[in-house]
Amino acid sequence: LIRVWGGGLAERPEFYAACDRRGVLVMQEFWMTGDNNGRWAGDYSWPLDHNTYLAAARDSVLMLRRHVSLLFWNFGNELDPTSRSPARDIRGGLTALLDRFHANRPYTASSMTNYTHYDPETSLAPKDGPYGFLPQSSWYEPNPGLLFWNGTRADGLTIAFQPETGSVSTPVLESLRRFLSEESLARFPRDSANDVSVAAGDDDDDVDDDDDDDDDD
């Protein structure tokens, strides 16, 4: 399942056509994120022009609704609390659009809301992450690597889909061999970002001290 993030765009039909052919499912978000819609910054009333926003949302729904790979819609990234974000008229407008033009697809109000008031009926998860490397076996467990705020495992929590988890993408093995030594490659990856940095040659022992060479000149 690919997530098209709410701070970005509605993907083009060419992208969805490729997903249709290859059997890849997509979670498509509308263009809102808590980063600038009141939760972290900005204002709960944003965007400034609600009519233009809903007109663009209507065009996107009509453009993408025939693609079987579009599994469900989400109103935005980390919109919290959902009672305030999206703004009431935008939430009502998006709901009406989807009920009218794409009624055979479900939708959620937010990708994530705070654990203290998490409701699986309106958001996907109560917490993001983890973002580090995880043992391969953990991906066969419920909610891989997810911890409650007190550090205990959240494997018993009902989450339909964790929208943000895992580390950055790793290059293919052939590419790794071009910039890692055999010793570093054998140690890659580790469970923490620090270990990965060391494995990539960022520790002090592997770095040439150019400043010392300059001092000798």
Question: What are the catalytic residues?
Answer: 78, 164
Give the max Cα distance, the chain.
Answer: 75
- Find all residues with CB under 8 Å of 42, minimum gap 6, and list them: 35, 36
In the chain, the amino acid numbered 47 is: P
* Distance between CA atoms of residues 87 and 94, nearest Å: 11
Q: Are 143 and 159 in contact (CB under 8 A)?
A: yes
CA distance readout (Å), 193 to 86, 133, 165, 200: 35, 8, 14, 10
User: Rounded to whole angstroms, how far apart are CA atoms 10 and 46?
Assistant: 18
Long-range contacts of 85-91 (CB under 8 A, 24+ apart): 85/32, 85/34, 85/37, 85/38, 85/39, 85/44, 85/110, 86/32, 86/37, 87/44, 87/45, 87/46, 87/50, 89/50, 90/50, 90/53, 90/54
